[in-house]
Amino acid sequence: MPRVSKPTDHAYDTIAAELRLRIESGELPAGAPMPSESQLCREFGKSRGTVRRALQLLEEAGLTQVGQGQVRRVRGDEPLPHAPYEKVAEALTAEIEAGTRRPGDKVPSAADLAATHGVAIGTAQRALKVLENRGLLTSGGVRGRLVAGSPDGSLELGQVGQVAAALAATIRDGKHPVGSRLPGERKIAETYGVARVTVQSALTQLAEQGLIERQSRGKGRLVLRQET
């Protein structure tokens, strides 16, 4: 009997991540129908099984839902949920940025993080890998993972202000002109190598300065004016 072929890689994670970015940026706004399986197969050059798994991940994350006529759409008004590993990564990042965990401090193991946050060990391991990729953690050999930087506190803090200033500069320089929308939180986080909680705080600062305002669900943040 011929074997049924199954996806052998994690291409579905890549597809799901790309579609999530489109949702967060407003390219796929609330209520919009998701691209069909056939369209996604053609776009990404992957099998229907891989595409279905990617769409299932989005539904499990609460980003999409199947409505009347079995049409899959972007969900409505509630804030976008974070993936479990993102929540763990952002909680750790917030502790580092607040100085609760100082450069050179040992970070809890994946098992300890899993128990603390009520997630799987694999989820905690993924969160730790994210922080390593951001340069916030480093390997301490037998000591495990450590907060990056030296004990004198040379790790950069004040990231919220730095991101807010950088975004204000893009508005001032015309990269994001008045009336345009800023990129989604996840895209900004990837651009500046920070956590989404950092981006959210930076965006709050810009909103308090009257530079941007948050639009309705799925429409992102609108640039109101340039700095004077």
What is the C-alpha to C-alpha distance for residues 165 and 159, in angstroms, rounded to an integer? 10
pLDDT digits (tens, 9 = 90+) for 25-43: 778 887 788 888 888 999 8
Domain check: are 89 and 54 in the same one? no
Same domain, 194 and 212: yes
Residue 154 lies in a domain: no
In the chain, the N- to C-terminal Cα span, in Å, equals 72
> Is 223 in contact with 171 (CB distance < 8 Å)?
yes
Cα 147 to Cα 104: distance, rounded to the nearest angstrom: 5
- Asked if 32 and 63 sit in the same domain, the reply is yes
pTM, whole model, 2 decimals? 0.41
Q: Which CATH number goes with the domain that contains 198?
A: 1.10.10.10
CB 168 within 8 A of CB 177: no
In this predicted structure, what is the pLDDT of residue 2?
38
3-class DSSP assignment, residue 202: helix
Q: Which of 22, 48, 74 is the last residue of a domain?
A: 74
pLDDT exceeds 70 at position 158: no
**pLDDT surpassing 90 at residue 3:** no
> The domain containing residue 57 runs over which residues?
11-74
Q: How many domains does the chain have?
A: 3
19 and 67 together in one domain: yes
pLDDT of residue 8: 41
Nearest CA among 186, 144, 188, 185 for reference residue 170: 188
- For residue 193, is it within any domain? yes
Which residue type sits at 182?
Answer: L
What pLDDT was estimated at residue 115?
92
Is residue 62 domain-shared with residue 94, that is, in the same domain?
no
| 21 contacts: CB under 8 Å, gap ≥ 6 | 27, 184, 186, 187
Q: Which two tokens stand for residue 227?
A: 């700095």
End residue of a domain, out of 147, 167, 187: 147
DSSP string across 19-65: HHHHHHHTSS-TTPBPPPHHHHHHHHT--HHHHHHHHHHHHHTTSEE
Q: Is residue 152 part of a domain?
A: no
Cβ count within 10 A of residue 56: 13
pLDDT at 198: 73
E-state strands within 40-186: 64-66, 72-74, 137-139, 145-147
Question: Among 100, 126, 147, where does a domain finish?
Answer: 147
Residue 214 lies in a domain: yes
